[in-house]
Amino acid sequence: MKRSERYSHVLEYFKKNMQHVTTELEFGSVFQLLVATLLSAQCTDKRVNMVTPELFRRYPDARSMAQADEEDIYEYIRSVSYPNAKAKHLVRMANELCENFNGEVPATMEGLTSLSGVGRKTANVLLAVAFGKAAMPVDTHVFRVSHRLGLVGKTATTPLDVEKTLVKNIPEDMQADAHHWLLLHGRYVCTSRAPHCKDCPFNEFCPKLMENSKVR
């Protein structure tokens, strides 16, 4: 099966069966989505959703969080991964928003990645989810599933490589949804360990035996 045919098959299935989906992170504003996404790095959405309600009650926006001490933020997020580093990033990020963007989250890649702790993946999540722009965030799930389904080749060794290939092959108006389709497929079906192949709608043509397959 040609790669273009794989894209058509996968996208058609998801569009028919999953339609519009969005992040599983819980938030009440663009700022809160930014905070939750930053906290979700190397951490589960479930864990993040456990700590953000109290965090957001105390610090609902950039201006209130900019007044916080790192130690205060740490107490709210201590159960997520790397809480010390993330507390530092959150306080700095909130201050940067106030100083450079009047407390509002910027809607550009350049503006977002200028913020402390915000990399390309986090920025793409904000562009896609908060601002409805064509964007393809590549996390570990998207990276893994893209390789396993043969949507990218073995030369796509970095998240940016995968992002560029996906963006090139997925229509702009489907990119935001496609990110979530691939992510959720990786989170619940095409898992890192012991993927649930019997439950996979793509098992009949999954290239898991190909030379460039990431499945073992």
Active-site annotation holds for 164: no
Q: Per the residue annotation, which of 139, 161, 164, 199 is the catalytic one?
A: 139
Interhelix angle 70-77/83-101, nearest 10 degrees: 130
Q: Per the residue annotation, which of 61, 86, 121, 177 is the catalytic one?
A: 121
Compute the chain's Rg from CA coordinates: 18
Active-site annotation holds for 139: yes
Could you give the 3-state DSSP secondary structure of residue 42? coil
Whose structure tokens read 């350049």?
110
Amino acid at 82: Y
Angstrom distance (rounded) from CA 135 to CA 126: 9
How far from chain centre, in Å, is Cα 155? 22
Angstrom distance (rounded) from CA 137 to CA 175: 9
Residues assigned a catalytic role: 121, 139
